[in-house]
Amino acid sequence: MGSYRCCICFTRKFRWSEAKPTEDVREAFATYAEGGAHMTADQLRQFLEEAQGEAGATAADAERVMERVRQLRRPSHLAKLSKPPFTLDDFHHYLFSEELNPPLQPQVHHDMTAPLSHYYIYTGHNSYLTGNQLSSDCSDVPIIRALQRGVRVIELDIWPNSARDNINVLHGRTLTSPVELIRCLKSIKEHAFSASPYPVIITLEDHLTPDLQAKVAKMVMETFGDMLYYPDSESHKEFPSPEALKKRIIISTKPPKEYLEAKSFKEKDCDTQKENDSNEEEAWGKEVSDIQTEFELANKDEEVQDEELADDDDDQKERQNAPPEYKCLITIRAGKPKGHMSEALNVDPEKVRRLSLSEQELVKAAATHGADLLRFTQKNLLRIYPKGTRFNSSNYNPFIGWIHGAQMVAFNMQGYGRSLWLMHGFYKANGGCGYIKKPDFLVKAGPNNEVFDPKAVLPVKKTLKVKIYMGDGWRMDFSQTHFDAYSPPDFYTRVGIAGVPADTVMKKTKTIEDNWTPVWDEEFTFTLTVPELALLRIEVHEYDMSEKDDFGGQTCIPVSELRPGIRAVPLFDHKGNKFNSVKLLMRFVFV
Protein backbone atom coordinates (compact mmCIF):
# COMPACT_ATOMS: atom_id res chain seq x y z
CA MET A 1 0.00 0.00 0.00
CA GLY A 2 2.88 2.38 0.83
CA SER A 3 4.36 1.73 -2.59
CA TYR A 4 1.01 2.49 -4.23
CA ARG A 5 0.77 5.87 -2.40
CA CYS A 6 4.27 6.80 -3.50
CA CYS A 7 3.30 6.13 -7.09
CA ILE A 8 0.25 8.39 -6.80
CA CYS A 9 2.39 11.20 -5.38
CA PHE A 10 4.89 10.78 -8.18
CA THR A 11 2.26 11.09 -10.88
CA ARG A 12 0.54 14.05 -9.19
CA LYS A 13 3.61 16.26 -9.24
CA PHE A 14 3.80 16.10 -13.04
CA ARG A 15 0.09 16.79 -13.61
CA TRP A 16 -0.66 19.96 -15.54
CA SER A 17 -2.96 21.12 -18.29
CA GLU A 18 -2.70 23.70 -21.06
CA ALA A 19 -4.06 27.15 -20.21
CA LYS A 20 -7.62 27.36 -21.51
CA PRO A 21 -9.58 30.53 -22.39
CA THR A 22 -11.48 31.98 -19.44
CA GLU A 23 -15.16 32.89 -19.62
CA ASP A 24 -14.45 36.58 -20.32
CA VAL A 25 -12.16 35.62 -23.22
CA ARG A 26 -14.82 33.29 -24.63
CA GLU A 27 -17.43 36.03 -24.37
CA ALA A 28 -15.20 38.60 -26.06
CA PHE A 29 -14.48 36.22 -28.91
CA ALA A 30 -18.16 35.34 -29.35
CA THR A 31 -19.15 39.02 -29.30
CA TYR A 32 -16.67 40.23 -31.90
CA ALA A 33 -16.82 37.07 -34.05
CA GLU A 34 -20.60 37.57 -34.05
CA GLY A 35 -21.21 34.06 -32.82
CA GLY A 36 -19.01 32.45 -35.46
CA ALA A 37 -16.28 29.86 -35.02
CA HIS A 38 -13.55 32.16 -36.26
CA MET A 39 -12.73 35.86 -36.41
CA THR A 40 -11.94 38.05 -39.41
CA ALA A 41 -9.23 40.70 -39.50
CA ASP A 42 -11.84 43.46 -39.37
CA GLN A 43 -13.53 41.85 -36.37
CA LEU A 44 -10.18 41.66 -34.58
CA ARG A 45 -9.52 45.30 -35.50
CA GLN A 46 -12.86 46.22 -33.93
CA PHE A 47 -11.90 44.32 -30.75
CA LEU A 48 -8.54 46.13 -30.61
CA GLU A 49 -10.21 49.51 -30.99
CA GLU A 50 -13.21 49.06 -28.68
CA ALA A 51 -12.08 46.60 -26.01
CA GLN A 52 -8.34 47.26 -25.96
CA GLY A 53 -8.48 51.03 -26.38
CA GLU A 54 -6.22 51.04 -29.45
CA ALA A 55 -7.92 53.86 -31.33
CA GLY A 56 -5.54 53.84 -34.28
CA ALA A 57 -5.76 50.10 -34.98
CA THR A 58 -6.21 49.20 -38.66
CA ALA A 59 -7.21 46.04 -40.48
CA ALA A 60 -3.57 45.71 -41.53
CA ASP A 61 -2.54 45.76 -37.85
CA ALA A 62 -5.06 43.02 -37.11
CA GLU A 63 -3.84 40.97 -40.07
CA ARG A 64 -0.24 41.23 -38.81
CA VAL A 65 -1.35 39.97 -35.39
CA MET A 66 -3.13 37.03 -36.99
CA GLU A 67 -0.14 36.15 -39.13
CA ARG A 68 2.21 36.28 -36.16
CA VAL A 69 -0.07 34.02 -34.13
CA ARG A 70 -0.12 31.53 -37.00
CA GLN A 71 3.67 31.55 -37.10
CA LEU A 72 3.94 31.03 -33.34
CA ARG A 73 1.32 28.28 -33.12
CA ARG A 74 2.06 26.27 -36.26
CA PRO A 75 5.23 24.86 -37.83
CA SER A 76 6.68 27.32 -40.32
CA HIS A 77 6.29 25.00 -43.31
CA LEU A 78 2.58 24.55 -42.58
CA ALA A 79 1.96 28.24 -41.85
CA LYS A 80 3.20 29.15 -45.32
CA LEU A 81 0.93 26.69 -47.13
CA SER A 82 -2.35 28.24 -46.09
CA LYS A 83 -3.98 30.82 -43.84
CA PRO A 84 -6.14 28.85 -41.43
CA PRO A 85 -9.05 30.67 -39.74
CA PHE A 86 -8.43 32.67 -36.56
CA THR A 87 -10.06 30.52 -33.88
CA LEU A 88 -10.87 31.00 -30.19
CA ASP A 89 -7.59 29.27 -29.27
CA ASP A 90 -5.70 31.62 -31.59
CA PHE A 91 -7.45 34.59 -30.01
CA HIS A 92 -6.52 33.33 -26.54
CA HIS A 93 -2.92 32.78 -27.63
CA TYR A 94 -2.76 36.37 -28.92
CA LEU A 95 -4.14 37.76 -25.64
CA PHE A 96 -1.69 35.69 -23.60
CA SER A 97 1.32 36.73 -25.72
CA GLU A 98 3.65 39.27 -24.12
CA GLU A 99 5.16 39.97 -27.54
CA LEU A 100 1.82 40.80 -29.19
CA ASN A 101 -0.21 42.10 -26.27
CA PRO A 102 2.00 43.76 -23.59
CA PRO A 103 0.58 45.93 -20.78
CA LEU A 104 2.78 48.93 -21.72
CA GLN A 105 3.64 50.61 -24.99
CA PRO A 106 7.34 50.21 -25.77
CA GLN A 107 7.99 53.60 -27.38
CA VAL A 108 9.23 56.88 -25.91
CA HIS A 109 6.17 59.15 -25.89
CA HIS A 110 6.81 61.88 -23.30
CA ASP A 111 7.84 65.40 -24.26
CA MET A 112 11.64 65.28 -24.06
CA THR A 113 12.32 68.98 -24.73
CA ALA A 114 11.89 70.38 -21.20
CA PRO A 115 14.86 71.08 -18.84
CA LEU A 116 16.41 68.08 -17.06
CA SER A 117 14.83 69.28 -13.80
CA HIS A 118 11.40 68.35 -15.22
CA TYR A 119 12.25 64.63 -15.36
CA TYR A 120 12.73 61.71 -13.04
CA ILE A 121 16.12 60.23 -13.96
CA TYR A 122 17.05 56.57 -13.43
CA THR A 123 19.90 56.89 -10.89
CA GLY A 124 22.40 54.42 -9.48
CA HIS A 125 24.29 54.65 -6.18
CA ASN A 126 27.89 53.41 -5.83
CA SER A 127 27.43 51.98 -9.31
CA TYR A 128 30.76 50.15 -9.28
CA LEU A 129 30.07 47.81 -6.33
CA THR A 130 29.37 44.15 -7.03
CA GLY A 131 27.82 43.43 -3.62
CA ASN A 132 27.83 44.87 -0.10
CA GLN A 133 29.11 48.33 0.75
CA LEU A 134 32.08 47.23 2.86
CA SER A 135 33.95 44.30 1.35
CA SER A 136 32.70 43.54 -2.16
CA ASP A 137 34.77 43.98 -5.30
CA CYS A 138 34.65 47.16 -7.36
CA SER A 139 34.18 46.50 -11.05
CA ASP A 140 32.87 47.90 -14.31
CA VAL A 141 30.51 44.89 -14.63
CA PRO A 142 27.69 46.33 -12.47
CA ILE A 143 28.08 49.62 -14.35
CA ILE A 144 27.55 47.82 -17.66
CA ARG A 145 24.53 45.95 -16.29
CA ALA A 146 22.98 49.16 -14.99
CA LEU A 147 23.40 50.89 -18.35
CA GLN A 148 21.90 47.89 -20.14
CA ARG A 149 18.87 48.14 -17.85
CA GLY A 150 18.45 51.80 -18.77
CA VAL A 151 20.06 53.52 -15.75
CA ARG A 152 21.12 57.05 -16.77
CA VAL A 153 23.13 58.23 -13.74
CA ILE A 154 26.32 56.37 -12.83
CA GLU A 155 28.14 57.24 -9.59
CA LEU A 156 31.91 56.83 -9.28
CA ASP A 157 33.93 57.48 -6.10
CA ILE A 158 37.40 58.48 -7.28
CA TRP A 159 40.51 58.18 -5.09
CA PRO A 160 44.28 58.25 -5.60
CA ASN A 161 45.86 54.83 -6.09
CA SER A 162 48.47 53.60 -3.62
CA ALA A 163 51.29 55.24 -5.59
CA ARG A 164 49.35 58.52 -5.79
CA ASP A 165 50.01 58.70 -9.52
CA ASN A 166 46.70 57.40 -10.89
CA ILE A 167 43.00 57.19 -10.08
CA ASN A 168 41.00 54.29 -8.70
CA VAL A 169 37.29 53.83 -8.17
CA LEU A 170 36.35 52.37 -4.79
CA HIS A 171 34.24 52.90 -1.70
CA GLY A 172 36.73 54.76 0.48
CA ARG A 173 37.82 53.60 3.93
CA THR A 174 36.37 50.13 3.41
CA LEU A 175 37.74 46.80 2.22
CA THR A 176 36.28 47.14 -1.26
CA SER A 177 38.91 46.26 -3.85
CA PRO A 178 39.49 49.04 -6.42
CA VAL A 179 38.97 49.20 -10.16
CA GLU A 180 40.82 51.68 -12.36
CA LEU A 181 38.85 54.76 -13.36
CA ILE A 182 39.87 54.44 -17.01
CA ARG A 183 38.30 50.98 -17.19
CA CYS A 184 34.99 52.35 -15.86
CA LEU A 185 35.05 55.27 -18.28
CA LYS A 186 35.73 53.02 -21.28
CA SER A 187 32.87 50.69 -20.29
CA ILE A 188 30.53 53.66 -19.90
CA LYS A 189 31.48 54.87 -23.37
CA GLU A 190 30.86 51.44 -24.88
CA HIS A 191 27.50 50.76 -23.20
CA ALA A 192 26.09 54.22 -22.45
CA PHE A 193 23.41 54.13 -25.14
CA SER A 194 22.75 50.41 -25.47
CA ALA A 195 19.31 50.78 -23.84
CA SER A 196 18.50 54.46 -24.37
CA PRO A 197 19.74 57.34 -26.53
CA TYR A 198 19.22 59.89 -23.76
CA PRO A 199 22.14 61.41 -21.81
CA VAL A 200 24.22 59.53 -19.27
CA ILE A 201 25.24 61.57 -16.23
CA ILE A 202 28.41 60.57 -14.37
CA THR A 203 28.38 61.81 -10.78
CA LEU A 204 31.90 61.95 -9.36
CA GLU A 205 32.59 61.79 -5.63
CA ASP A 206 35.98 63.48 -5.80
CA HIS A 207 38.76 62.73 -3.28
CA LEU A 208 41.66 63.86 -5.47
CA THR A 209 44.52 66.35 -5.40
CA PRO A 210 44.64 69.00 -8.16
CA ASP A 211 47.27 67.14 -10.18
CA LEU A 212 45.04 64.04 -10.27
CA GLN A 213 42.01 66.17 -11.06
CA ALA A 214 43.91 67.41 -14.11
CA LYS A 215 44.62 63.79 -15.01
CA VAL A 216 40.90 62.96 -14.70
CA ALA A 217 40.04 65.86 -16.99
CA LYS A 218 42.46 64.61 -19.64
CA MET A 219 41.21 61.04 -19.23
CA VAL A 220 37.56 62.06 -19.55
CA MET A 221 38.14 64.25 -22.61
CA GLU A 222 40.25 61.64 -24.39
CA THR A 223 37.84 58.80 -23.62
CA PHE A 224 34.57 60.46 -24.58
CA GLY A 225 35.71 62.99 -27.18
CA ASP A 226 32.72 64.56 -28.93
CA MET A 227 30.31 62.53 -26.77
CA LEU A 228 31.21 64.75 -23.81
CA TYR A 229 28.95 67.74 -23.21
CA TYR A 230 30.05 70.69 -21.13
CA PRO A 231 28.72 74.25 -21.02
CA ASP A 232 30.33 77.43 -22.32
CA SER A 233 30.04 79.15 -18.94
CA GLU A 234 30.34 78.01 -15.33
CA SER A 235 26.63 78.47 -14.62
CA HIS A 236 23.37 78.63 -16.51
CA LYS A 237 19.80 79.62 -15.64
CA GLU A 238 18.27 76.27 -16.57
CA PHE A 239 19.44 72.83 -17.54
CA PRO A 240 19.42 71.58 -21.14
CA SER A 241 16.76 69.07 -22.18
CA PRO A 242 17.18 65.29 -22.61
CA GLU A 243 16.41 65.76 -26.31
CA ALA A 244 19.20 68.34 -26.71
CA LEU A 245 21.62 66.01 -24.91
CA LYS A 246 20.93 62.82 -26.84
CA LYS A 247 23.99 60.54 -27.07
CA ARG A 248 25.97 62.86 -24.78
CA ILE A 249 27.89 62.22 -21.56
CA ILE A 250 27.57 64.77 -18.73
CA ILE A 251 29.77 65.23 -15.66
CA SER A 252 28.27 66.20 -12.30
CA THR A 253 30.36 66.86 -9.18
CA LYS A 254 31.09 69.50 -6.58
CA PRO A 255 33.16 72.38 -7.96
CA PRO A 256 36.71 72.12 -6.56
CA LYS A 257 37.51 74.54 -3.78
CA GLU A 258 40.25 77.10 -4.39
CA TYR A 259 42.73 77.50 -1.54
CA LEU A 260 44.42 80.88 -1.49
CA GLU A 261 46.77 79.93 1.29
CA ALA A 262 48.19 76.74 2.66
CA LYS A 263 46.45 75.11 5.61
CA SER A 264 47.35 72.09 7.63
CA PHE A 265 45.48 68.98 6.61
CA LYS A 266 43.86 68.85 10.02
CA GLU A 267 42.26 72.27 9.51
CA LYS A 268 41.11 71.32 6.03
CA ASP A 269 39.57 68.17 7.37
CA CYS A 270 37.34 70.29 9.59
CA ASP A 271 36.21 72.87 7.07
CA THR A 272 36.60 71.31 3.62
CA GLN A 273 37.32 67.59 3.67
CA LYS A 274 33.82 66.81 4.88
CA GLU A 275 32.44 68.84 2.00
CA ASN A 276 34.57 67.01 -0.55
CA ASP A 277 34.10 63.51 0.85
CA SER A 278 31.05 61.57 -0.21
CA ASN A 279 27.94 62.33 1.80
CA GLU A 280 27.47 58.63 2.37
CA GLU A 281 30.70 58.32 4.32
CA GLU A 282 29.72 61.14 6.66
CA ALA A 283 26.72 59.07 7.69
CA TRP A 284 28.75 56.01 8.56
CA GLY A 285 30.32 57.27 11.79
CA LYS A 286 29.63 54.96 14.68
CA GLU A 287 27.86 52.32 12.57
CA VAL A 288 31.03 51.56 10.62
CA SER A 289 33.14 51.26 13.75
CA ASP A 290 30.62 48.86 15.28
CA ILE A 291 31.28 46.30 12.57
CA GLN A 292 34.94 46.97 11.86
CA THR A 293 35.98 43.75 13.58
CA GLU A 294 33.61 41.67 11.49
CA PHE A 295 35.07 43.09 8.29
CA GLU A 296 38.64 43.13 9.68
CA LEU A 297 38.94 46.87 9.42
CA ALA A 298 41.71 48.58 11.33
CA ASN A 299 40.82 49.50 14.90
CA LYS A 300 41.01 53.23 14.36
CA ASP A 301 38.36 55.89 14.40
CA GLU A 302 37.89 58.22 11.43
CA GLU A 303 40.02 60.99 12.96
CA VAL A 304 43.04 58.72 13.31
CA GLN A 305 42.55 57.46 9.74
CA ASP A 306 42.50 61.05 8.49
CA GLU A 307 45.67 61.93 10.39
CA GLU A 308 47.52 58.97 8.88
CA LEU A 309 46.15 59.83 5.46
CA ALA A 310 47.59 63.31 5.92
CA ASP A 311 50.98 61.92 6.85
CA ASP A 312 50.96 59.83 3.68
CA ASP A 313 50.15 62.72 1.39
CA ASP A 314 52.23 65.88 1.64
CA ASP A 315 50.45 67.30 -1.39
CA GLN A 316 47.27 67.60 0.64
CA LYS A 317 48.96 70.02 3.02
CA GLU A 318 49.31 72.70 0.39
CA ARG A 319 46.52 72.25 -2.13
CA GLN A 320 46.57 74.85 -4.85
CA ASN A 321 43.89 76.04 -7.27
CA ALA A 322 42.01 73.29 -9.03
CA PRO A 323 42.93 72.90 -12.71
CA PRO A 324 40.68 75.01 -14.96
CA GLU A 325 40.13 72.15 -17.44
CA TYR A 326 38.60 70.04 -14.65
CA LYS A 327 36.20 72.75 -13.53
CA CYS A 328 35.11 73.42 -17.12
CA LEU A 329 33.90 69.84 -17.56
CA ILE A 330 31.25 70.13 -14.85
CA THR A 331 27.80 70.60 -16.38
CA ILE A 332 25.77 69.87 -13.25
CA ARG A 333 27.31 71.53 -10.20
CA ALA A 334 26.63 69.65 -7.01
CA GLY A 335 26.65 70.44 -3.31
CA LYS A 336 25.55 69.27 0.12
CA PRO A 337 23.25 71.19 2.45
CA LYS A 338 24.99 73.95 4.41
CA GLY A 339 23.43 75.76 7.32
CA HIS A 340 19.67 75.71 7.72
CA MET A 341 17.62 73.56 5.36
CA SER A 342 15.69 76.58 4.11
CA GLU A 343 19.02 78.08 2.97
CA ALA A 344 20.09 74.83 1.32
CA LEU A 345 16.83 74.80 -0.65
CA ASN A 346 17.07 78.41 -1.73
CA VAL A 347 16.32 78.87 -5.45
CA ASP A 348 18.72 81.16 -7.29
CA PRO A 349 17.02 82.68 -10.38
CA GLU A 350 20.41 83.13 -12.06
CA LYS A 351 21.78 79.58 -11.84
CA VAL A 352 20.81 75.96 -11.32
CA ARG A 353 22.53 73.27 -9.29
CA ARG A 354 22.25 69.80 -7.81
CA LEU A 355 21.72 69.17 -4.09
CA SER A 356 22.28 65.80 -2.40
CA LEU A 357 20.38 64.63 0.68
CA SER A 358 20.52 61.31 2.51
CA GLU A 359 17.27 59.41 2.90
CA GLN A 360 17.11 60.51 6.57
CA GLU A 361 17.72 64.16 5.64
CA LEU A 362 14.94 63.90 3.07
CA VAL A 363 12.47 62.58 5.65
CA LYS A 364 13.29 65.47 7.99
CA ALA A 365 13.13 68.05 5.20
CA ALA A 366 9.82 66.64 3.97
CA ALA A 367 8.33 67.05 7.44
CA THR A 368 9.44 70.64 7.94
CA HIS A 369 10.20 72.07 4.47
CA GLY A 370 7.98 70.13 2.09
CA ALA A 371 6.98 73.17 0.04
CA ASP A 372 10.61 74.32 -0.19
CA LEU A 373 11.58 70.90 -1.58
CA LEU A 374 8.88 71.16 -4.24
CA ARG A 375 9.91 74.67 -5.29
CA PHE A 376 13.59 73.69 -5.37
CA THR A 377 12.98 70.68 -7.61
CA GLN A 378 10.96 72.69 -10.12
CA LYS A 379 14.22 74.29 -11.29
CA ASN A 380 17.12 72.45 -9.64
CA LEU A 381 18.11 68.79 -9.31
CA LEU A 382 17.70 66.92 -6.03
CA ARG A 383 19.58 63.66 -5.46
CA ILE A 384 18.63 61.28 -2.65
CA TYR A 385 21.02 58.53 -1.58
CA PRO A 386 20.76 55.54 0.81
CA LYS A 387 21.80 55.99 4.42
CA GLY A 388 25.27 54.80 5.33
CA THR A 389 24.06 51.90 7.46
CA ARG A 390 22.71 50.00 4.45
CA PHE A 391 25.84 47.84 4.43
CA ASN A 392 24.11 45.01 2.55
CA SER A 393 23.20 47.34 -0.36
CA SER A 394 19.51 47.39 0.53
CA ASN A 395 17.30 50.31 -0.51
CA TYR A 396 14.58 52.60 0.83
CA ASN A 397 11.09 53.76 -0.15
CA PRO A 398 11.61 55.80 -3.34
CA PHE A 399 8.19 57.45 -3.20
CA ILE A 400 9.24 59.90 -0.49
CA GLY A 401 11.65 61.41 -2.99
CA TRP A 402 9.37 61.12 -6.02
CA ILE A 403 6.35 62.83 -4.45
CA HIS A 404 8.60 65.76 -3.49
CA GLY A 405 9.92 66.10 -7.03
CA ALA A 406 13.39 64.57 -6.47
CA GLN A 407 14.78 63.70 -9.88
CA MET A 408 17.68 61.48 -8.80
CA VAL A 409 16.47 58.89 -6.28
CA ALA A 410 19.70 56.89 -6.16
CA PHE A 411 19.51 53.14 -5.57
CA ASN A 412 21.92 50.27 -5.02
CA MET A 413 21.21 48.48 -8.30
CA GLN A 414 23.25 45.44 -7.27
CA GLY A 415 20.84 44.72 -4.41
CA TYR A 416 17.32 43.38 -4.67
CA GLY A 417 14.01 43.43 -2.82
CA ARG A 418 10.66 45.18 -2.96
CA SER A 419 12.08 48.71 -3.01
CA LEU A 420 14.20 47.87 -6.05
CA TRP A 421 11.17 46.23 -7.70
CA LEU A 422 9.40 49.57 -7.40
CA MET A 423 12.37 51.33 -9.00
CA HIS A 424 12.48 48.84 -11.88
CA GLY A 425 8.73 49.22 -12.42
CA PHE A 426 8.73 53.02 -12.25
CA TYR A 427 11.29 53.25 -15.06
CA LYS A 428 9.37 50.93 -17.38
CA ALA A 429 7.47 54.11 -18.24
CA ASN A 430 8.23 56.14 -21.37
CA GLY A 431 9.61 53.21 -23.28
CA GLY A 432 12.17 52.42 -20.57
CA CYS A 433 14.43 55.26 -21.74
CA GLY A 434 15.46 56.26 -18.19
CA TYR A 435 13.82 59.71 -18.26
CA ILE A 436 10.20 60.19 -17.15
CA LYS A 437 8.46 63.54 -17.46
CA LYS A 438 7.25 64.65 -14.05
CA PRO A 439 3.53 65.48 -13.72
CA ASP A 440 2.68 69.14 -14.31
CA PHE A 441 1.73 69.65 -10.66
CA LEU A 442 5.36 68.95 -9.69
CA VAL A 443 6.97 71.38 -12.14
CA LYS A 444 4.54 74.32 -11.99
CA ALA A 445 3.43 76.53 -9.11
CA GLY A 446 -0.13 77.74 -8.72
CA PRO A 447 -1.35 81.34 -9.20
CA ASN A 448 -0.41 82.17 -5.59
CA ASN A 449 2.91 80.29 -5.82
CA GLU A 450 1.37 77.31 -4.07
CA VAL A 451 2.82 73.84 -4.75
CA PHE A 452 1.62 70.25 -4.53
CA ASP A 453 1.15 69.02 -0.96
CA PRO A 454 1.89 65.28 -0.61
CA LYS A 455 0.23 65.26 2.81
CA ALA A 456 -3.07 66.73 1.59
CA VAL A 457 -6.16 64.53 1.46
CA LEU A 458 -7.15 64.77 -2.19
CA PRO A 459 -10.32 63.64 -3.98
CA VAL A 460 -10.30 60.40 -5.98
CA LYS A 461 -9.08 61.22 -9.47
CA LYS A 462 -9.32 57.81 -11.12
CA THR A 463 -10.53 54.30 -10.31
CA LEU A 464 -8.69 51.25 -11.63
CA LYS A 465 -10.34 47.83 -11.85
CA VAL A 466 -7.89 44.94 -12.10
CA LYS A 467 -9.05 41.43 -12.95
CA ILE A 468 -6.60 38.57 -12.54
CA TYR A 469 -7.68 35.72 -14.77
CA MET A 470 -4.93 33.14 -14.69
CA GLY A 471 -1.21 32.39 -14.74
CA ASP A 472 1.08 30.10 -16.69
CA GLY A 473 4.74 29.36 -17.40
CA TRP A 474 6.00 28.08 -14.05
CA ARG A 475 6.10 24.53 -15.42
CA MET A 476 8.61 25.72 -18.04
CA ASP A 477 10.77 28.01 -15.86
CA PHE A 478 10.90 25.97 -12.62
CA SER A 479 11.75 22.35 -11.87
CA GLN A 480 8.79 20.08 -11.17
CA THR A 481 9.80 19.83 -7.50
CA HIS A 482 10.76 23.48 -6.93
CA PHE A 483 7.61 24.43 -5.01
CA ASP A 484 6.54 21.04 -3.65
CA ALA A 485 8.26 17.66 -3.82
CA TYR A 486 5.06 15.64 -4.16
CA SER A 487 2.33 17.80 -5.69
CA PRO A 488 1.72 20.74 -8.02
CA PRO A 489 2.02 24.21 -6.49
CA ASP A 490 -0.67 26.18 -4.63
CA PHE A 491 -0.45 29.69 -6.11
CA TYR A 492 -2.03 32.94 -4.96
CA THR A 493 -1.50 36.51 -6.15
CA ARG A 494 -1.02 39.71 -4.19
CA VAL A 495 -2.01 42.84 -6.06
CA GLY A 496 -2.07 46.47 -4.98
CA ILE A 497 -0.89 50.03 -5.40
CA ALA A 498 2.32 51.78 -4.38
CA GLY A 499 2.18 55.56 -4.45
CA VAL A 500 1.17 58.41 -2.19
CA PRO A 501 0.12 57.16 1.26
CA ALA A 502 -3.61 57.54 0.54
CA ASP A 503 -3.37 55.25 -2.50
CA THR A 504 -1.06 52.57 -1.07
CA VAL A 505 -2.76 49.20 -0.47
CA MET A 506 -2.30 45.46 -1.10
CA LYS A 507 -4.97 42.78 -1.65
CA LYS A 508 -4.87 39.04 -2.22
CA THR A 509 -6.59 36.36 -4.30
CA LYS A 510 -7.69 32.97 -3.07
CA THR A 511 -5.16 30.12 -3.25
CA ILE A 512 -5.59 27.67 -6.12
CA GLU A 513 -4.39 24.28 -4.96
CA ASP A 514 -2.40 21.74 -6.94
CA ASN A 515 -2.27 23.52 -10.28
CA TRP A 516 0.59 24.69 -12.52
CA THR A 517 -1.87 26.88 -14.49
CA PRO A 518 -3.97 28.51 -11.75
CA VAL A 519 -7.22 30.28 -12.64
CA TRP A 520 -8.26 32.90 -10.07
CA ASP A 521 -10.77 34.96 -12.08
CA GLU A 522 -10.94 37.67 -9.37
CA GLU A 523 -11.40 41.43 -9.73
CA PHE A 524 -10.09 44.20 -7.45
CA THR A 525 -10.90 47.90 -7.39
CA PHE A 526 -8.40 50.63 -6.51
CA THR A 527 -9.28 54.29 -5.99
CA LEU A 528 -6.44 56.67 -6.87
CA THR A 529 -5.95 60.25 -5.71
CA VAL A 530 -2.59 60.68 -7.51
CA PRO A 531 -2.64 58.14 -10.38
CA GLU A 532 0.26 59.93 -12.08
CA LEU A 533 2.66 58.56 -9.44
CA ALA A 534 1.00 55.18 -8.78
CA LEU A 535 2.53 51.78 -9.49
CA LEU A 536 0.49 48.60 -9.81
CA ARG A 537 2.26 45.96 -7.69
CA ILE A 538 1.83 42.27 -8.51
CA GLU A 539 3.39 39.32 -6.69
CA VAL A 540 2.71 35.59 -7.03
CA HIS A 541 3.51 33.26 -4.14
CA GLU A 542 3.12 29.56 -3.51
CA TYR A 543 1.41 28.76 -0.23
CA ASP A 544 3.38 26.61 2.17
CA MET A 545 1.65 25.41 5.31
CA SER A 546 4.76 24.71 7.38
CA GLU A 547 7.36 27.12 6.03
CA LYS A 548 7.64 30.56 4.43
CA ASP A 549 5.62 30.84 1.23
CA ASP A 550 7.69 30.41 -1.91
CA PHE A 551 8.23 33.26 -4.34
CA GLY A 552 6.67 32.80 -7.78
CA GLY A 553 7.32 36.10 -9.53
CA GLN A 554 6.66 39.84 -9.37
CA THR A 555 6.25 42.99 -11.42
CA CYS A 556 5.45 46.66 -10.94
CA ILE A 557 3.74 48.66 -13.70
CA PRO A 558 3.18 52.44 -13.93
CA VAL A 559 -0.58 52.97 -13.65
CA SER A 560 -0.46 56.06 -15.85
CA GLU A 561 0.88 53.95 -18.72
CA LEU A 562 -1.27 50.83 -18.37
CA ARG A 563 -2.92 49.85 -21.62
CA PRO A 564 -6.59 49.07 -20.94
CA GLY A 565 -8.18 45.76 -21.85
CA ILE A 566 -7.07 42.15 -21.50
CA ARG A 567 -3.27 41.98 -21.38
CA ALA A 568 -0.41 39.51 -20.94
CA VAL A 569 1.71 40.55 -17.95
CA PRO A 570 5.23 39.04 -17.73
CA LEU A 571 6.68 38.38 -14.28
CA PHE A 572 10.23 38.90 -13.01
CA ASP A 573 12.46 37.15 -10.48
CA HIS A 574 13.85 38.47 -7.17
CA LYS A 575 16.58 40.43 -8.92
CA GLY A 576 14.31 41.96 -11.52
CA ASN A 577 15.22 39.65 -14.40
CA LYS A 578 12.29 38.62 -16.58
CA PHE A 579 11.28 34.98 -16.53
CA ASN A 580 11.26 33.26 -19.91
CA SER A 581 7.68 32.00 -19.66
CA VAL A 582 5.94 33.02 -16.42
CA LYS A 583 3.10 35.48 -17.00
CA LEU A 584 -0.42 36.39 -15.96
CA LEU A 585 -3.51 37.14 -18.03
CA MET A 586 -5.17 40.27 -16.61
CA ARG A 587 -7.71 42.94 -17.50
CA PHE A 588 -7.39 46.65 -16.74
CA VAL A 589 -10.34 49.03 -16.78
CA PHE A 590 -10.29 52.72 -15.82
CA VAL A 591 -13.56 54.24 -14.63
pLDDT in tens, 517-548: 999 999 999 999 999 999 999 999 999 988 89
Please tell me the predicted confidence (pLDDT) of residue 259: 31
| Alpha-carbon gap, residue 68 to 59, rounded angstroms | 14
Tell me which residues of the chain have a pLDDT lower than 70.
Answer: 1-16, 75-81, 258-322
Average pLDDT, the chain: 87
Q: Domains in the chain, please, with CATH?
A: 20-95 (1.10.238), 116-256+324-443 (3.20.20.190), 462-590 (2.60.40.150)
Which residues, listed in sequence order, are joined to residue 471 by a DSSP beta bridge? Answer: 584
Please tell me the predicted confidence (pLDDT) of residue 586: 98
CA distances from 342 to 338, 347, 366, 371, 475 (A): 10, 10, 12, 10, 56
The pTM score is 0.87
Active site residue 171: yes
Please tell me the predicted confidence (pLDDT) of residue 80: 58
Q: Give phi and psi for 173, each to the nearest 5.
A: 60, 35
Please tell me the predicted confidence (pLDDT) of residue 236: 84
Please tell me the predicted confidence (pLDDT) of residue 475: 95
Active site residue 369: no
User: Which of 110, 118, 171, 207 is flagged as catalytic?
Assistant: 171
pLDDT, tens digit, 9 for 90 and up, residues 275-327: 433 443 343 333 333 333 333 332 333 333 333 333 344 454 334 566 788 99
Please tell me the predicted confidence (pLDDT) of residue 79: 52
Angle, vertex CA 542, rays to CA 538 and CA 543, nearest 5: 120
How crowded is residue 246: how many other Cβ atoms within 10 Å of its Cβ? 13
| Alpha-carbon gap, residue 405 to 357, rounded angstroms | 13
User: Which of 118, 125, 369, 541 is flagged as catalytic?
Assistant: 125
Distance of CA 394 to the CA centre of its chain: 14
| Alpha-carbon gap, residue 116 to 128, rounded angstroms | 24
Residue of 253, 156, 240 whose CA lies nearest to 198: 240
Please tell me the predicted confidence (pLDDT) of residue 514: 95
